[in-house]
Structure 1
Amino acid sequence: MSEIITTKQQELGKIIEQYSEGEGVFKTAIPSLYFMRLSNTSESSHGVYKPSFCMVVQGAKEVWLGQDRFRYSPSDYLVSSVHLPVITQVTEATPDVPYLGLRLEFSSSQVLKVLNDSELRELPKENSKRAMFVSHIESSLMDAVIRLAHLLDNPNDIPVLAPLYTEEIIYRVLQGKNGNILRGIVMGESAIHQIRDVIEHIVNRYDRSFRIEELAELANMSVSSFHRHFKEVTALSPIQFQKQMRLQEARRLLLTESLDATDVAYRVGYESTSQFSREYSRMFGFPPILDIKRLKA
């Protein structure tokens, strides 16, 4: 990592420290911008990444998408182009040198606006179909992130300038080595664009049953082609994707609402409570009630 990038990382780290009170994830005054600070490495944690730009400013992190592992450190950034169920783990953090990171969520309409305002509209070559990627961070992208973060010092500027700086960050990502992946998500007749529509369909209706033939028709593909392309984009089959979305939501409901496991199972789409408990245990390592007691302890 160059000395220039290192200096900029230190500047950004000071901003994150300033606006992070204690340990954990912190929502900032800028819509869709989150800071994270941890003084120790973490256990593996299940979650769902929305379309987002993520940076490690200090320390290191791993993200698992299916069987794929994405490792990134202060010289890198990670982008999730669609909703993706993942497993994350902070692998480098100490009380003296805590893990510092940020996440900026964005929408496909923001990406499309940047493309429409730029000369980056040509259809991408599909050399990679995964909807998640890690790239080396460039100085121009770092500058845009720092400009956005510094708006926290001037809250009155946020409504006007935060959208502009967010678009600049998206623009720099689109210019980067893997920008074609993000570009393919929002435009063209690429397979990744067609699969995005199906992902949004499942995310919005995860509690409902579906037939693979219906999803394939939505993607305008044959069933076999749809299966192949869906797994290329998400590293999961459609059934695995839906199952992980259901179980992630079930865990959230058990943690945050006064519901028992049976109520939660039905709410997220299970017809069999025993199947729900079995699949929950397989994913999280404990049956629902024990898992929640452990997390709340």
Structure 2
Amino acid sequence: MLNQLATALLRYTDRCPGPSPYSTQLEGVFILRSDQPKPPTLRSASPALCIVAEGAKWASFGGERLEYRAGQALVIGVQTPSRGQVFEASPAKPCLVLLLQLDLAMIRAVANEMAFAPVPSGDASRGVFVADFDGPLADCALRIVRLLDTPEAATILQPMIMREIGYWLLAGPNGAEVAKLASIQSPSHKLARAVDNLRTNYAQPMRVEDLAKIAQLSESAFHRQFKAFTGLPPLQYQKQLRLLEARRLLLSQSISVQAAAFEVGYESPSQFSREYARMFGAAPKKELAHVQGIGEAA
């Protein structure tokens, strides 16, 4: 089944113009292909399944690094900044990844319909883990990719297959972890509400006290559980969100470094430039000049 999935992804990406990642006609379905190892990149992760059909990747969330390779999937149940890298790929055997956006409300609905749904654990552990993706799950992934050839059928069939994926995730060895991410009664769900609030208001001054109230925790417990859940302390989480958004503004819009700093909530452009350089390896003006130079040369 895994070989069939890799063949289907390879065939699809061979027809796609431009570089990876590839958007598809199906909502929430993306394909990543790398013909060689790539340097680490920073991004903001959202709830998703990152299924590796061939090759290998790693992703780090805070101080924890998770490796996943062919036959495995990175299950992301929290929105958080992350760093990742393709480390096993070649032209003969490219790294092929099927990314499916994950609807936690749908998984919760499936769990409610199960006669013997897994019981979520009571702790608020990390909202990211690696799971084997074989058997029925691999079959579901292959059927999703095959829908790319018949997008007119996707409106009806894709939601059904995603519900099936939700079922097999809940019924599998990681069912308690999946149930914990989806349950509105779990500590993870309450933390996720605080995370959503911080993501929405990342440019505003942060009050840990207010976020702790949303999560229904004391400030000390909130700080500890927030870091366990996202991999980052609240202040560092907010800082990385600000810098990721500032980088997007700088590279995609005609905006000055100072304007980008103010837009994401910095009061000091010099502090913004220092923290930007520490996170991305180059000062914003230098990176912007480099990108503009490439554009002019092209």
TM class, shorter-length: over 0.9
| Contact 1:151/1:157 (<8 A) preserved | yes
Question: Aligned in 2, Cα 1:166/1:294: closer, same or farther, shift over 3 Å?
Answer: farther
| Contact 2:124/2:187 (<8 A) preserved | no
Using the size of structure 1 for normalisation, the TM-score is 0.93
Residue in structure 2 matched with residue 251 of structure 1 by the alignment: 247
Residue type of the alignment partner of 1:286: A
CA–CA distance in structure 1, aligned partners of residues 100 and 244 of structure 2: 21
Residue type of the alignment partner of 1:267: E
Q: Deviations over 1:114-158 (max 9, x none)?
A: 223323545312477110000112211000111111111111101
- The answer to whether 1:242 aligns with 2:247 is no
Q: 1:43 aligns with which of 29, 39, 60?
A: 39
Q: 1:218 aligns with which of 214, 217, 221?
A: 214
SS in 2 for 1:241: helix
Residue type of the alignment partner of 2:104: S
Residue in structure 1 matched with residue 224 of structure 2 by the alignment: 228
Is the deviation greater in 120-129 or in 242-251? 120-129
Alpha-carbon distance, 1:11 to partner: 3.9
Residue in structure 2 matched with residue 175 of structure 1 by the alignment: 171
CA–CA distance in structure 2, aligned partners of residues 159 and 75 of structure 1: 27
Question: Aligned in 2, Cα 1:18/1:115: closer, same or farther, shift over 3 Å?
Answer: farther
| Contact 1:8/1:142 (<8 A) preserved | no
Residue type of the alignment partner of 1:61: K
Residue in structure 1 matched with residue 189 of structure 2 by the alignment: 193
CA–CA distance in structure 2, aligned partners of residues 90 and 293 of structure 1: 27
Residue in structure 1 matched with residue 69 of structure 2 by the alignment: 73
Q: Deviations over 1:237-287 (max 9, x none)?
A: 011111111111111111100001111111111111111111101100111
Q: 1:97 aligns with which of 85, 93, 96?
A: 93
Q: 1:209 aligns with which of 187, 205, 211?
A: 205
Residue type of the alignment partner of 2:205: S
| Contact 1:9/1:74 (<8 A) preserved | no
Residue type of the alignment partner of 1:192: S
| Contact 2:104/2:182 (<8 A) preserved | yes
For residues 19-30 of structure 1, the aligned pairs below 5 Å read 20-30=16-26
CA–CA distance in structure 1, aligned partners of residues 146 and 8 of structure 2: 9
Question: Aligned in 2, Cα 1:288/1:75: closer, same or farther, shift over 3 Å?
Answer: same
CA–CA distance in structure 2, aligned partners of residues 164 and 196 of structure 1: 26
Computed over aligned residues only, the root mean square deviation of the Cα atoms, in angstroms, reads: 1.8
CA–CA distance in structure 1, aligned partners of residues 173 and 246 of structure 2: 37
Is the deviation greater in 8-17 or in 22-31? 8-17
Alpha-carbon distance, 1:45 to partner: 0.3
Structure 1 residue runs without a partner (length 5+) = none
Q: Deviations over 1:95-124 (max 9, x none)?
A: 222121111112332222222332354531
Q: 2:281 aligns with which of 282, 285, 288?
A: 285
Residue in structure 2 matched with residue 106 of structure 1 by the alignment: 102
Percent identity over paired residues: 33
Q: Deviations over 1:200-230 (max 9, x none)?
A: 1111111111211111111111111111111
Alpha-carbon distance, 1:15 to partner: 4.6
For residues 6-25 of structure 1, the aligned pairs below 5 Å read 6-18=2-14, 20-25=16-21
For residues 27-176 of structure 1, the aligned pairs below 5 Å read 27-119=23-115, 121-126=117-122, 129-176=125-172
CA–CA distance in structure 2, aligned partners of residues 120 and 85 of structure 1: 34
SS in 1 for 2:216: coil
Alpha-carbon distance, 1:186 to partner: 2.7
Count of matched residue positions in the alignment of Structure 1 and Structure 2: 293
| Contact 1:23/1:39 (<8 A) preserved | no
